[in-house]
């Protein structure tokens, strides 16, 4: 009985079923890709905010004592990362105290271009630096401009695995479901 059921399912698989399964698998994989990228983007923005919070005291100290060397060290350390495009520390009168720009040319793979289309290639995050109120009415700020596409490359192997698994699972479920429905329809006739 089990052989006839399996044979009936395999006989019911047509080219239309396979094409539909591939389309369904592709749709599910793209949806999974989109959800994962958006989740990573949200997490990445939180991470950048945490990084700015961590750097707030040293950057505020550099602004307070107008230490351009300390400010420069902070921003140069940030731009060592491939995904960090620019970093600046502004003093309380909005003049740049430290600035570093990552001049490395960014080349994108086809996969990275797809990611860039979803999440963009540049995000700017700014955090005000709080100075003691007795020192100045205005505060300085630290600004980061980073490339979320390059930042997402750290999770790319996991993302590829999840997308492939989603595609295969969706395609298999679609084939099994359509084959089963075809078999039930053939039994009725």
Q: pTM for the whole thing?
A: 0.67
Could you read off the pLDDT of 151-163 as tens digits, one per residue? 777 777 888 888 8
Could you read off the pLDDT of 105-135 as tens digits, one per residue? 667 777 778 778 877 778 888 888 876 665 6
Structure tokens at 140: 């300085």
Torsion of CA 56, 140, 144, 126, to 10 degrees: 90
Of 117, 147, 148, 123, nearest to 34 by C-alpha is: 117
* CATH number for the segment(s) 15-183: 3.30.450
Of 181, 157, 161, 187, nearest to 21 by C-alpha is: 181
What pLDDT is recorded for position 11? 56
Within the chain, which residues score under 50 in pLDDT? Answer: 1
Over the chain, what is the mean pLDDT?
82
CB 46 within 8 A of CB 116: no
């Amino acid at each position: 009985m089990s052989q006839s059921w399996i044979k009936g399912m395999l006989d019911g698989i047509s080219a239309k079923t396979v094409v539909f399964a591939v389309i369904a698998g592709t749709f599910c994989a793209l949806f999974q890709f989109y959800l994962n990228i958006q989740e990573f983007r949200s997490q990445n923005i939180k991470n950048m905010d945490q990084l700015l919070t961590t750097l707030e005291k040293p950057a505020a100290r550099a602004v307070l004592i107008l230490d351009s060397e300390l400010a420069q060290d902070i921003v140069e350390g940030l731009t060592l990362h491939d995904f960090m495009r620019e970093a600046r520390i502004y003093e309380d009168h909005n003049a740049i105290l430290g600035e570093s720009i990552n001049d490395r040319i960014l080349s994108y793979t086809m996969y990275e271009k797809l990611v860039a289309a979803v999440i963009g290639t540049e995000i700017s995050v700014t955090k005000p630096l709080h100075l003691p109120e007795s020192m100045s009415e205005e505060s300085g700020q630290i600004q980061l401009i980073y490339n979320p596409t390059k930042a997402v490359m750290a999770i790319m192997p996991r993302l590829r695995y999840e997308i492939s698994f989603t595609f295969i699972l969706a395609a298999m479920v679609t084939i099994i479901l359509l084959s089963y429905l075809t078999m039930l329809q053939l039994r009725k006739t």
